[in-house]
Amino acid sequence: MDCTPCHSTLAVPLNPNPRSNTAFLADKYDSDFAGPLQPEGFIRYIRGHPCFNPAKDLVIPAFKAPNHYHASPLQGNAARKRDLLFFFRGDVGKNRLPNYSRGVRQQIYKMAKEGGWAQKHRFYIGDGQDVPGDYSEMLTRAIFCLVAPGDGWSARMEDAVLHGCIPVIIADGVEAVFENILDIDAFALRLPQDVVPRLLEVLQAVPEKTIRSKQAHLGRLWQRYRWASLPKLAQELREAQERNLARSDAEGRGQAAVEEQGAATTGRRRLLKIYNGARGGFAGDESDPGVGEGAGRPQHLLLPRPYRADPAQDDAFATIIQWLYNRIPHTR
């Protein structure tokens, strides 16, 4: 049984003597190391203690600087059309030991590369050479984003959530960030590793209603995955949010004016057609773009919507404090 340290921690079962599965040998904590400052080694001090106990422990988010998610609607930017089915950019194990990422990243990359999924399905995975472009903007355009182990831990959960991208968690037996205090299934998709060979099929089969529900839930809690309440951070985020909201609101008003003008034009066209049709013996034509799903109808609401609340409200720090307060009865 493996136990990966830090943010990707083994939750169940509570193995008192876990074994490391990291491919980064310097982090292999089940191999003892004795040095001048600690000649007795360290294994004796961790033996008998599980990595993680969900009854009393909490996996917390890694810190992401505001510029890391600069394009996200979480910073007040206009929501974008999510035209990418899947996105992951990072180390895909090209020059790694086989147990890196438990083989998950490598297997998905190999399938996508050989199947031409980027061109056929807008399914993007690879390193910077395979998948160019602004990282934050790409995440903001994606529907699903991979959350898989790396060298033992990975902050990809934070990347996905902070951009409103549905996390696809493939890490058997590993507790995700805040998983034991939030309803992860409401906004993420957890899949067992044995589903990886059918990943494309599984993602394509997710109903639109389910996707939109998860995106809406992301918009209710994504602020809990960022650290924003420190005064300098809060000030920086407020200023960015004000700028971005002003720009996105102006763009929205411009788009609304264009749609209103289009609706008026469509209405005049329909009236003229009905008038001419009445003269000719028919009352309209379903092929007319003004009938059914023609121009001027409301556009599909893009989710999650731009964040408008105070950035410092209910951030990661506040979430941890709320959890600690809730834990007080258990310490008596």
pLDDT tens digit string along 169-204?
999 988 999 999 999 999 999 999 999 999 999 999
285 inside domain: yes
288 inside domain: yes
Number of separate domains in the chain = 1
199 inside domain: yes
Query: What is the Cβ-side half-sphere exposure of residue 170, based on CA atoms within 13 angstroms?
Result: 24
Per-residue pLDDT at 260:
67
Q: Could you give phi then psi for residue 264, rounded to 5 degrees?
A: -65, -45
Asked whether the predicted pLDDT for residue 278 surpasses 60, the reply is no
What is the chain's Cα-based Rg? 25
Per-residue pLDDT at 23:
79
Q: Which two tokens stand for residue 316?
A: 């990661």
Q: Regarding beta strands 166-169 and 174-175, do their DSSP bridges make them parallel or antiparallel, or are they unpaired?
A: unpaired
Asked whether the predicted pLDDT for residue 286 surpasses 80, the reply is no
Asked whether the predicted pLDDT for residue 275 surpasses 70, the reply is no
41 inside domain: no
Report, as an integer, the average pLDDT of 50-74: 93
Asked whether the predicted pLDDT for residue 293 surpasses 50, the reply is no
Which residues form the domain of 92?
54-332
Letter string b/e over residues 115-125, b meaning 16 or more CB atoms within 10 A of that residue's CB: eebbeebbbbb
Give which of 151, 176, 147, 148 is closest to 99, Cα–Cα. Answer: 151
45 inside domain: no
pLDDT tens digit string along 224-245?
999 999 999 999 999 999 999 9
Q: Which two tokens stand for residue 132?
A: 């160019």
Q: Of the given ranges (39-48, 68-77, 174-183, 266-275), which has the lowest mean pLDDT?
A: 266-275
Give which of 164, 114, 112 is closest to 136, Cα–Cα. Answer: 164
Query: What is the Cβ-side half-sphere exposure of residue 211, based on CA atoms within 13 angstroms?
Result: 18
CB 163 within 8 A of CB 223: no
14 inside domain: no
Quote the mean pLDDT of the chain.
Answer: 85
Measured between alpha carbons, how far apart are the two ends of the chain, in Å? 33
140 inside domain: yes
Q: Could you give phi then psi for residue 263, rounded to 5 degrees?
A: -65, -40
What percent of the chain clears pLDDT 70, i.e. is strictly above it?
82
Within 43-137, strands assigned E span 84-89, 123-126
Bond into 13 cis (ω within 30): yes
33 inside domain: no
pLDDT tens digit string along 97-140?
999 999 999 999 999 999 999 999 999 999 999 999 999 999 99
Q: Which two tokens stand for residue 185?
A: 């299934």
